[in-house]
Structure 1
Amino acid sequence: MSSPKLLKLPEVLDEIGMSRAAFYRLRARGKAPKLIKLPNNQIRCRRSDLDAWWEHCEQLAA
């Protein structure tokens, strides 16, 4: 079984076209994709969580 694809924060920011500051403001409001903090304090986002977040945003826009 393969492990889920984990994206680094800069990869997420590049894909959604958002600055780090804007992303953290969104996160503070509880509206950003779910992030995972690794034991070495790095932050990752599962590909599946980012895709689910995109789908949620599309539903809100419809």
Structure 2
Amino acid sequence: MAREEWLTIPEVVQELHDVSLSTFYRWRQLGKGPKAIKLPNGAVRIRRSEFQRWIATLEEAA
């Protein structure tokens, strides 16, 4: 079984191309970003599968 890939917020923003880091953080504050997990050290990670699911919902809404 393949291991789930975890993305950092900068990696997610890089995949979104024209979205700034501040915009992505604002989306998260508004509850409009992908689901994330906060690690005990304070780092935030997003599962690649969750990121792809979130992108798919944006495509459906467009």
Identity score, percent = 44
Structure 1 residue ranges, 4+ long, deviating more than 4 angstroms after superposition: none
CA distance in 2, matches of 1:20, 1:2: 29
Counting only pairs closer than 5 Å after superposition, residues 1-62 of structure 1 correspond to structure 2 as 1-17=1-17, 18-61=19-62
| Length-normalised TM-score, structure 1 | 0.87
Q: Deviations over 1:11-57 (max 9, x none)?
A: 00100122111011111211101111111111111000000000000
Q: Provide the TM-score with structure 2 as the length reference.
A: 0.87
Tell me the distance in 2 between the aligned counterparts of 1:32 and 1:41: 18
Q: CA RMSD in A?
A: 1.1
